[in-house]
Amino acid sequence: MACEHGAAGVIRVLLVDDQQLIRAGLRMLCDAEPGMEVVGEAGDGRAAIEAAARLLPDVIVMDLRMPGVDGITATSRIVSARPSARVLVLTTFGDDDHLYPALQAGACGFLLKDAPPEELLGGIRQAASGESPFSQEVLMRLVRRAVDARPEQRGRVDGLTVREQEVLDLVGEGLSNNEIAERMHIGVTTVKSHIAALMTKTGSPNRVRLALLAHSL
């Protein structure tokens, strides 16, 4: 029976994309990275659901547009069956309308398919560690669309410390936890604590909502 995690320090990855060439490229990239192993592939959502249940990967790299069961449906079913599952979406410019549904389905982050290899690998590591990796461009597109759709939502949040407000502003810029830590000259653990406090104080369930809030203030 598959275990929840692989060997110590090894991130077990499941690749889901209907294009075999993309899966092959992602496999080569991940397998060449120390501490990362591709444990399976799936060419559609139905196969992804089965593989996720059987292999229990640490991170599932998910395409959205696939024949039959799409990536949003697959993400929802995977996360419903195993809430701890970390689904990292690889998206394209044409997938804007799918981003919010995928987020609602339980995706933990979004990266562009043409992102640099180091950004993709870093995103997988962030997802495995419990963070929510977003390409800055994707995050900004999500926020702009939400602000345009709900321009009347403006205001301030009471009770934030100066540090929490600084972290909130940087989340709004699309920075990762590591980047925020470097910018503010504090530890990553401290950044995580600030973000957890921000989510509690603002009632934001995820990083996108925090970024949206930052742009509405």
Tokens of 8: 């110590």
Q: Is residue 194 within 8 Å of residue 170, measured between CB atoms?
A: no
End-to-end CA distance of the chain: 49
- pLDDT exceeds cutoff 90 at 22: yes
Please determine, for residue 156, whether its predicted confidence score (pLDDT) is greater than 60.
no
Q: What is the pLDDT of residue 103?
A: 83
Chain-centre distance for alpha carbon 83: 14
pLDDT of res. 4 = 45
Span 181-197, pLDDT tens digits: 999 999 999 999 999 89
Q: Fill in the amino acid letter for 85.
A: A
Domain 11-133 grouped into CATH 3.40.50.2300: yes
Percent pLDDT > 70 in the chain is: 86
Which neighbouring-strand residues pair with 60? 14, 87
Segment 72-87, tens digit of pLDDT:
999 999 999 999 899 9
Between CA 198 and CA 196 the distance in angstroms is 5
pLDDT score for 155? 47
Tell me the C-alpha distance between 77 and 72, whole Å. 9
Cα separation, 98 vs 112, in Å, equals 13
What's the CATH fold of domain 156-216?
Arc Repressor Mutant, subunit A (1.10.10)
Looking at per-residue confidence, does 146 or 167 come out higher?
A: 167
For residues 9 and 19, give the distance between their C-alpha atoms in angstroms, rounded to a whole number: 29
| pLDDT tens per residue, range 3-15 | 344 445 899 999 9
Domain 11-133 and domain 156-216 have a common topology: no
Residue-range domain boundaries for the chain: 11-133, 156-216
For 85, the 3-state DSSP assignment is coil
Average pLDDT, the chain: 85
Would you state the pLDDT for residue 8? 57
